[in-house]
Structure 1
Amino acid sequence: MSETATATIWDRYRLGVTLGAVALIFLAALESLAVTTVMPVVSAALDGEALFAVAFAGTLATSVIGMVAAGAWSDARGPRGALYAAVTLFLLGLVISGLATNMYVFLIGRLVQGLGTGGQTVALYVVVARLYPAQLHGRVFAAFAAAWVVPSMIGPFLAGAVAEFLHWRWAFLGVAVLTAIAFATVAIRLRGVDLGGGEGGMGRAVWQRLGLASVVAAGAVVVGFSADLDDLRLGWVIAAVAIVVIAVAVRPLLPPGTLRARPGLPSVVLLRGIVAAAFFAGEAYVPNLLMNRFAFTPTWAGISLMLAALAWAGASAVQGRYGDRLGNLRIALIGTALVAAALLAVPLTVLLGWSPLVIVLLWTCAGAGMGLLYPRLTVLTLAYSHERDQGFNSSALSISDSGGSAVFIAVVGLAFASLGGEGGAYVLAFGMCIGLLVVGLIPSGRLGHGAERV
Structure 2
Amino acid sequence: MSSTAAPSIWDRERIWVSVGGIALIFLGAIEALAVTTVMPVVSAALDGQDLYAVAFAGTLATSVIGMVACGAWSDARGPRGPLYVAVSLFIAGLLISGFAFTMEQFLVGRLVQGLGAGGETVALYVVVARLYPPNLHGRIFAAFAAAWVVPAMVGPFLAGAVAEFLDWRWTFLGVAVLTAIAFVIIAVRLRALDLGGGDASSVTGLGRRLLLAVVVAVGAVAVGLSADAQPVVGWPVAVLAIVVIGFAVVPLLPRGALRSVRGLPSVILVRGLVAGAFFAAEAYIPYLLMAEFGFTPTWAGIALMLAAFAWAGGSALQGRYGETLGNHRIALISLGLILVALASVLVTTLTGASPVIIVIGWGFAGGGMGLLYPRLTVLTLAYSAPGNAGFNSSALSISDATGSAGGSSRHPTERGAEPPASSPRRSLSSGAKLP
> Same fold by TM-score, threshold 0.5 exceeded?
yes
Which residue matches 2:431?
none
Match of 2:272, as an amino acid? G
Separation in structure 2 between the aligned mates of residue 191 and residue 390 of structure 1, nearest angstrom? 20
Which residue matches 1:452?
none
Which residue matches 2:240?
241
Counterparts of residues 189-208 of structure 1 (less than 5 Å): 197=197, 200=200, 203-208=203-208
Q: Does 1:331 align with 2:328?
A: no
Which residue matches 2:296?
295
Per chain length, whose mean CA-contact separation is higher, i.e. which structure has more relative contact order (CA < 8 Å, sep 6+)? 2
Which residue matches 1:115?
115
Indicate conservation of the 8 Å contact 1:216/1:250, yes or no.
yes
Q: Does 1:155 align with 2:151?
A: yes
TM-superposed deviation, 1:92: 3.5
Match of 2:242, as an amino acid? I
Shift in alpha-carbon separation, 1:318–1:277, aligned structure 2, 3 A:
same
Which residue matches 1:175?
175
TM-superposed deviation, 1:102: 9.0
TM-superposed deviation, 1:22: 3.2
TM-superposed deviation, 1:386: 7.5
3-state SS, counterpart of residue 148 of structure 2: helix
Shift in alpha-carbon separation, 1:193–1:270, aligned structure 2, 3 A:
closer
Separation in structure 1 between the aligned mates of residue 179 and residue 21 of structure 2, nearest angstrom? 10
TM-superposed deviation, 1:331: 3.1
Match of 2:296, as an amino acid? A
Shift in alpha-carbon separation, 1:159–1:329, aligned structure 2, 3 A:
closer
Separation in structure 1 between the aligned mates of residue 36 and residue 93 of structure 2, nearest angstrom? 16
3-state SS, counterpart of residue 296 of structure 2: coil
3-state SS, counterpart of residue 66 of structure 1: helix
Separation in structure 2 between the aligned mates of residue 16 and residue 118 of structure 1, nearest angstrom? 22
Indicate conservation of the 8 Å contact 1:156/1:303, yes or no.
no
Which residue matches 2:309?
310
Q: Does 1:271 align with 2:270?
A: yes
Match of 2:179, as an amino acid? T
Separation in structure 1 between the aligned mates of residue 216 and residue 312 of structure 2, nearest angstrom? 31
Deviations 1:112-170 (A, max 9, x none): 4332222112323444566x5x66x7558735632431431x22221243145433845
TM-superposed deviation, 1:273: 1.1
Indicate conservation of the 8 Å contact 1:335/1:372, yes or no.
no
Counterparts of residues 43-442 of structure 1 (less than 5 Å): 46=43, 59-95=59-95, 109-127=109-127, 132=131, 142-143=139-140, 145-152=142-149, 154-167=150-163, 169=168, 171-188=171-188, 197=197, 200=200, 203-227=203-227, 233-261=232-260, 266-283=265-282, 294-297=295-298, 303-316=302-315, 320=321, 323-324=325-326, 327=329, 330-331=332-333, 333-341=335-343, 344=346, 348=349, 359-378=358-377, 393-409=392-408, 411-412=409-410, 415-416=411-412, 418-420=414-416, 422=417
Shift in alpha-carbon separation, 1:296–1:338, aligned structure 2, 3 A:
same
Match of 1:159, as an amino acid? G
TM-superposed deviation, 1:279: 1.8
Separation in structure 2 between the aligned mates of residue 354 and residue 52 of structure 1, nearest angstrom? 38
Separation in structure 2 between the aligned mates of residue 353 and residue 51 of structure 1, nearest angstrom? 43
Shift in alpha-carbon separation, 1:360–1:167, aligned structure 2, 3 A:
farther
TM-superposed deviation, 1:219: 1.0
TM-superposed deviation, 1:72: 1.6
Measured on the aligned residues, the alpha-carbon RMSD in Å equals 4.8
Task: Give % identity.
Answer: 54
Separation in structure 2 between the aligned mates of residue 363 and residue 338 of structure 1, nearest angstrom? 8
3-state SS, counterpart of residue 166 of structure 1: helix
TM-superposed deviation, 1:337: 0.5
Indicate conservation of the 8 Å contact 2:63/2:116, yes or no.
yes
TM-superposed deviation, 1:42: 3.8
Deviations 1:385-419 (A, max 9, x none): 7888766555433322222112332x12xx54542
Shift in alpha-carbon separation, 1:82–1:190, aligned structure 2, 3 A:
same
Shift in alpha-carbon separation, 1:264–1:344, aligned structure 2, 3 A:
farther
Match of 1:121, as an amino acid? T
TM-superposed deviation, 1:95: 4.4
Q: Does 1:23 align with 2:23?
A: yes
The two structures have a TM-score, normalised by structure 2, of: 0.71
Separation in structure 2 between the aligned mates of residue 286 and residue 174 of structure 1, nearest angstrom? 32
Separation in structure 1 between the aligned mates of residue 64 and residue 176 of structure 2, nearest angstrom? 21
Deviations 1:7-66 (A, max 9, x none): 98778887655543332233224444x34xx73664587489999987776655543322
Indicate conservation of the 8 Å contact 2:71/2:390, yes or no.
no
Separation in structure 2 between the aligned mates of residue 353 and residue 384 of structure 1, nearest angstrom? 45
* Unaligned segments of structure 2, at least 5 residues: 424-435
Deviations 1:309-364 (A, max 9, x none): 22123334555456449737733640440452466489x39x95965x55544331
TM-superposed deviation, 1:370: 0.9
Indicate conservation of the 8 Å contact 2:92/2:112, yes or no.
yes
The two structures have a TM-score, normalised by structure 1, of: 0.69
Indicate conservation of the 8 Å contact 1:51/1:228, yes or no.
no
* Unaligned segments of structure 1, at least 5 residues: 431-454
3-state SS, counterpart of residue 367 of structure 2: helix
Deviations 1:93-113 (A, max 9, x none): 444566778988776655543
TM-superposed deviation, 1:249: 0.7
Indicate conservation of the 8 Å contact 1:77/1:200, yes or no.
yes
